[in-house]
Chains A and B, each alone.
Chain A
Amino acid sequence: MLLADARALCPDLVAVPADPAGDLAALEKLAVWAQRWGPWSALDPPDGVLVDVTGVAHLFGGEEALLADVAQAFARRGLATRAALAPTAGAAWALAHFGPPGAILHPFRAGEEHMLRHLGDLPVAALRLDDDVLTVLRRLGIKRLGELAGVSGADDPAREAAARDALRRRFRNHRSPAANPLLRLDQLLGKVPEPLLPVIARPMPMVQRRLMEPLRHRDLLDRVVEDLAHDMVRALEARGEGARRLELALWRVDGEALTRRIELAAATREASHITRLFAARLDDVEAGFGIEMVQLRASWSEPLALSQADLDAAAEDHGTALAACIDRLTVRLGPKAVTRPVARASHIPERAQTWQLPLAPVPSGQAAHTFNIRPLKLLERAEPIAVLYASPDGVPQRFRWRGEVREVTRVEGPERIAPEWWCERSTARLRDYYRIEDETGRRYWIFRQGLLGDGRGGVPDWFLHGLYA
């Protein structure tokens, strides 16, 4: 049903945009959190988590108590769950999705016949199969797990073997477990191993200092930050990483937490650089009755191999690296102040270049045309000028810009740049660009917006857009 149709039926409908990436991230966090019940967990997208609880249940007082604990813990977080416990991941999945709530298949009694007796009544969809395979099975008349296991339905072993052979041939070329019901059945019964990809939490590097006496002075805070930077460098070095984003949290005595965050242009592991960047951001910290805990986290880190430090000290104090220079500029001037221009595929001059982060990779693009001479400087916004011309669609003769009248002595043009109709309004007018030079040799790039009688407005306006060197 379309959203419009559904809204027509129920006007109070609340629509929430889908966020698959966010859902997956939340599921990953949930899987890590679910490791409270077992040492090892795996994702089962879109809405499941598998936890290995082998030999764990007695810690919770038995399997029933474990499942009750699971249900309670999720209910406390406002999540509805269906949990089941079984000797194999496939069986647990089948019971959780299609079995009774809180189903437990005890491992010590789990022979193949015992498992089939318990699971035989479940539908074949409990085998985690693709939709088209389910359709095939439905057409073959196989609806339940028991029917798949004893496919002929008769007691004659010869007929049973023949029917099983036919089924095996039917799915011979289906290598993926989700497309092969026999493979799935073997996995469910534990005859074939089923590898799962575990979720492993990677805690972000974090160092902190709890202070005996609350800090009220800046120089002491600077020293603590320096110590933390050294600790952080050691923590990062152990992981072979460098920090891209660092967050400094300061807890005051009255419980308030202040955070300062810096982003770095390249992965770094240099304590003096980190200290210096934070020193510029700590000027406005209000210590109040004192700061009792300081914590430094690297919430974004990238691999950074160990490298040989400079052997001679002279190279150290001779200037800074480019990334360090950009970090210092960014911390003082703001994240948008330091940029680099990159070309974009557009003919409209102001859209033909964008500004991106200085050390981000430059996207590859087609080479620019070399037969158009572009100005050295482009005004941020084209400034309107008053133009005197011989004819409305002809070359300008005299113009007034910033209160000064200039005589045009040399002109080249027009270079016509049509509006980008696929992303602009239909009333956008074309531009005729002229390169002009006035009587003292000043060179400009001006354009006339539109033509007289193009049906998109009245007399066209003139603008000055760029300055030639």
Chain B
Amino acid sequence: MFSKPSPANVLPRAIAAAVPEARWRPGLAEQPFHSEVFAPASEASGAGLALALARDALAQVGAQTPGEDARHVLWVQDRAAIRLGGRPCLAGLPPDWRRRLLHVAAATPEDALFALEEGLKCRDLACVIGEIAGNPRAFSFTASRRLSLTAERHGVRLWLVRLDATPDLSSARMRWQVRAAPSLHPRWNAAAPGTASWHAELFRARTHAPDEWMICDDSGTLRIRRDPDTDVAATPDIIRLARPTVGRSLAARAHA
């Protein structure tokens, strides 16, 4: 995908060869504070993977603390990103995130970086998701280093989606390259598009060996997809019409 390997690309591979490290998988306890997801702007796979990774990380962190996480999530977009990929749609978000989303529409990449940094400094935010289009001059290595340091100092995690960007120098702890992959076949209508799945390549990570996966977001949980032909969605359908609710008839509960 890249014509010449950048130093940022080669170095972690060398380290990984020297020291055998754990392979990445969903549901790891240690989650990075600053990740970048490179994605084409003509699809929402970048935002989708960032969202899935963020939910995965928050689920692992939230498993240690009791109670439901009601903290807000800051979603920062610059104007070019909004023009290319649109704004987040409330009805398409996971249900528990619909009341928690705060959106920042920044005019310029500089403003977006400012908003990202202010969001990372805020102790009341669960995480920050950013979308920046292209390789703006303001988003230099220094700027990404600032974001990394702020995120690690204040303990707020950042997933930055880079739309139509070339992977230049960055201090992000994990860097992904993602593109859409043919979705899983839904059980009831094979002709319909199914659960979101992506072809994700982890090409630079401090603690994991680089690799490629087919990842799918199966009813809110991130998992690695196996053989595309035999793998079907784990849930009967994306829409669960029969839910285990209290107070309904025994038949419905037994069915659920």
Contact = CB atoms under 8 A, between A and B. Distances in A.
B13 interface: no
Given A319-B122, A379-B86, A466-B92, A358 B183 contact: no
B47 A442 contact: no
B149 interface: no
A389 to B, nearest CB: 16
A322 B119 CA distance: 9
Contact of B47 (A320, A341, A342, A469): A469
A361 B105 CA distance: 20
Contacts of A378: 86-89, 92
Contact of A341 (B45, B101, B104, B197): B101
A353 B91 contact: yes
Interface string A341-361: 111000001001101001000
B103 A377 contact: no
Contact of A436 (B122, B154, B193): B193
Interface string B47-75: 11101100000000000000000001000
B102 interface: yes
B107 interface: yes
Given A329-B115, A343-B90, A374-B92, A380 B83 contact: yes
A376 B44 contact: yes
A184 interface: no
A469 B90 contact: no
Contact of B180 (A372, A404, A441): A441
How many A residues are at the interface, by size bracket? 35 or more
B119 A325 contact: yes
A375 B44 contact: yes
A139 interface: no
Interface string B82-101: 11011111111100001101
Given A319-B122, A410-B191, A440-B180, A466 B102 contact: no
Interface stretch (A157-165, A190-198, A331-339, A420-428): A331-339
Contacts of A332: 111, 114
A349 B86 CA distance: 13
B249 to A, nearest CB: 20
A329 B118 contact: yes
Nearest to B197: A441
A373 interface: yes
A376 B189 contact: no
A104 to B, nearest CB: 64
Contacts of B125: 322, 325
Contacts of B104: 329, 333, 337-338
Contacts of A320: 118, 121-123
A380 B80 CA distance: 12
B182 A339 contact: no
A109 interface: no
A411 B101 CA distance: 30
A319 B89 contact: no
Contact of A440 (B51, B106, B111, B179): B179
A318 interface: yes
A267 to B, nearest CB: 16
Contacts of A410: 183, 191-193
Nearest to A371: B239
A399 interface: no
29 contacts: A319-B121, A320-B122, A321-B124, A325-B121, A325-B125, A326-B102, A333-B115, A337-B105, A337-B107, A340-B102, A341-B88, A371-B241, A376-B44, A376-B47, A377-B44, A377-B89, A378-B87, A378-B89, A380-B87, A410-B193, A441-B179, A441-B181, A441-B182, A442-B180, A443-B43, A467-B86, A469-B47, A469-B49, A469-B52
Interface of A: 318-322, 324-326, 328-329, 332-333, 336-343, 349, 352-353, 355, 358, 362, 368, 370-380, 401-402, 404, 409-412, 435-437, 440-443, 466-469
